[in-house]
Amino acid sequence: MDLAGESTARREAWRRRVLSLAAAVAVAFVGLLGQLWYLQVLEGGKLQELSEKNRIRIRPVAAPRGILFDRNGLALVDNRPAFTLSLIPREMDDRDTVLARLSVLLKIPMRELEEALERVPPESFRPVRVRRGLTLEEVTKVEERKLELPGVVVEVEPQRVYPTSTFAAHLLGYVREVSDEQMKQGRYRRGDMIGQSGLERMLDEYLRGRDGGERIEVDALGRPVQVMRREEPDPGAQVITTVDRRIQEAAERAMAGRAGAVVVMDPRNGDVLALTSSPAFALDRLTGNLEKEDWLKVVRDPLTPLMNRALQSQYAPGSVFKVIVAAAGLQEGSLTPMDRTYCNGEFHLGRWTFKDWKEGGHGHVDTRAALVQSCNIFFYQSGLKVGPAAIARYALDFGLGAPTGVDLGGERPGLVPFLDGRRRGDGRGWQAGDTVNMSIGQGQLLVTPMQVARMMAAVANGGVLWRPRLVQRVERVDGTFAYSSSSKMTGRVDLSPVVWAFLRQALSGVVNEGGTGAAARIPGVDVAGKTGTAQTVAKSSSAKGQDHAWFASFAPAHDAEVVVVVLVERGGKGGQVAAPIARQVYQAIFLEKVAMVSLGGDG
């Protein structure tokens, strides 16, 4: 019995151990099933996403920015492929080491790389653009050390390219990566390139297009294996401007080395054929990598290259304003073409003496001769006859004292100073001396070159004030119009036909009859214009050449096709400095006619 009992006890103990083991195995199996259920059902989507991200890279494909063309189909700005250095935060395991290697390799400040990564979450798979416009040498350095630089990629993106670095800088504007401040608008993504000034900014919504993207399979080292899917970008729309590239280039050549502006306009519809401001800024410099110190250097430059002098700078018009005084007097009847005066070089008003620009004066002059020779003495007297209220009213009618409405930002309004018997600004009572000063375009009177261009266009076309037009149309890739613009009349000056004819004949005499604008004369082309020499306050008693030089003109005189206005800051006399610049522009405009005359043709 003892043996039987022991055998039974052993079997019982073995059975219990088997049961315990089976229970343990069952518990473990249940736990494993539970874990598998948890991973598959509850966490399956997340884990699959992480797995995909470990082998799939999403790479944006930048849309080519739309091209701006001149009126004849020539490109004003184009695109070219350029290399961009980007960082993918999620793939940078040892971030500090990778950044240090990259900093040494490409000589990029470590802080610049760190700031770029600080803008996005550390787990982001989206490339963060760090530097655009890499050279082939820099690209080669990165590719040769690819294994040492996980998360560092070189992308190919379209980049703006210009005929010259400063070509039409203020007109076209520049493109740059969206700033933190602009990001707050909610319209842009990090890394977007947007227009910051000029037409690039005004038409940014049409020019930007829509970015595409690629899903790329990569290996364990982040190297591309294959493109799994690609969504093509939609290029930006094409812009057809009113600008004539040949005229724009001629204006910029003529203004080289000087500060000022040139505006060329079609008086028949207000189309702006050229607009240049000098000195200009380097478009490609502002588009590319620009350190804070370099940006501050541009902003603080005493020559203010960022300022569009054609629209944003205000100047006394000088003797160009005599056209308005003559128009007001002739139309109101306070002047006649036969009025004569003797100019001895001085005009006395109370205890004040006002000088003529010509030592000794012009002798006997009538209204026409006074315009042709720009006699100050005649216009001092005429201004008092016409009166400040009438002069101011006609100045406003000709579009002075208000923005022209041109589609570029920052346009200044200028200033017509007379207001209900008072001076604008200081509120002082208007004095006879203020009228004398205003009569020759001095005193508080201020204009912009664009305003003067529109004013001269009105003289040329018989009184129509056009809104200056820069863009004809915007065409999508499929050929449809996204935007179109037509000429728009914004005002009209009512003068009798006799007065218009008199003004045009007199202004033709300024250039072609030995007047102050003789330096603009071109055989075969009847140029009509008015010079101006606007005095400014010198910074010191010994300062020279402080006067602003003006020449406002149109041609042909009796059937005008084009208006050319030239302003040279602190250039000297308008007839000596600005008129020859206008002559160069006219030679480019009427190239064929000038060539025929020079070859002995009938022109």
Which of 12-16, 108-112, 566-570 is least confident? 12-16
- Are residues 272 and 222 part of one domain? no
Residue 197 lies in a domain: yes
Residue 34 lies in a domain: no
3-class SS of residue 167: coil
**Omega cis (within 30) before 279:** yes
- Are residues 227 and 357 part of one domain? no
Predicted local confidence at residue 320, as pLDDT = 97
- Are residues 285 and 206 part of one domain? no
- Residue 579, pLDDT > 50, answer yes
pLDDT digits (tens, 9 = 90+) for 493-510: 999 999 999 999 999 999
- Are residues 256 and 182 part of one domain? no
Q: What span, in angstroms and rounded, lies between the C-alpha atoms of 262 and 248?
A: 9
- Residue 427, pLDDT > 50, answer yes
Query: Does the model's pTM come out above 0.95?
Result: no
Q: Which is more confidently placed, 272 or 152? A: 272
Q: Which is more confidently placed, 73 or 43? A: 73
Helices (H), strands (E): how many in the chain? 21, 25
**Which tokens sit at 286?**
């502002």
C-alpha dist (Å) from residue 236 to 66, 183, 210, 475: 4, 21, 7, 9
- Are residues 591 and 561 part of one domain? yes
Task: Report which secondary-structure segment, H or E, holds 76.
Answer: strand 75-87
DSSP string, 305-374: TTS-TTTT--B--GGGGHHHHHHHHHHHTS--TT-EEEE-SEEEETTEEEE-SSTT--EEEEHHHHHHHT
Instruction: Taking each helix axis as running N to C, give the angle between helix 95-106 and helix 136-144, from 0 to 180 degrees, rounded to the nearest 10.
Output: 140
- Residue 433, pLDDT > 60, answer yes
Q: What span, in angstroms and rounded, lies between the C-alpha atoms of 453 and 317?
A: 12
- Are residues 253 and 214 part of one domain? no
Residue 31 lies in a domain: no
- Residue 254, pLDDT > 90, answer yes
- Strand 548-555 to 528-534 pairing: antiparallel
- CA-closest candidate to residue 149, choices 227, 217, 91: 91
Furthest C-alpha separation in the chain:
161
- Number of domains the chain is built from: 2
DSSP string, 374-408: T-HHHHHHHHHHH-HHHHHHHHHHTTTTS----SS
pLDDT tier for residue 602 given thresholds of 50, 70 and 90: very low
Residue 169 lies in a domain: yes
Q: Which is more confidently placed, 219 or 362? A: 362
Q: Which is more confidently placed, 546 or 592? A: 546
Residue 167 lies in a domain: yes
Which of 48-62, 256-270, 444-458, 542-556 is least confident? 48-62
Residue 465 lies in a domain: yes
Predicted local confidence at residue 456, as pLDDT = 98
Q: Which is more confidently placed, 178 or 163? A: 163
Residue with tokens 């502002």: 286
pLDDT digits (tens, 9 = 90+) for 348-374: 998 999 999 999 999 999 999 999 999
- Are residues 158 and 191 part of one domain? yes
The number of residues in the chain equals: 603
- Residue 603, pLDDT > 50, answer no
**Mean pLDDT, range 125-154, rounded to an integer:** 85
> Contact at 8 Å (CB) between 492 and 463?
yes
Parent domain of 347: 246-295+312-598
Predicted local confidence at residue 229, as pLDDT = 73
- Are residues 447 and 427 part of one domain? yes
Residue 545 lies in a domain: yes
- Are residues 269 and 193 part of one domain? no
- Are residues 449 and 417 part of one domain? yes
- Residue 67, pLDDT > 70, answer yes
- Are residues 162 and 290 part of one domain? no
- Are residues 387 and 505 part of one domain? yes
Residue 115 lies in a domain: yes
pLDDT digits (tens, 9 = 90+) for 174-187: 988 777 777 777 77
pLDDT digits (tens, 9 = 90+) for 18-57: 777 777 777 777 777 777 666 566 656 554 554 544 566 6
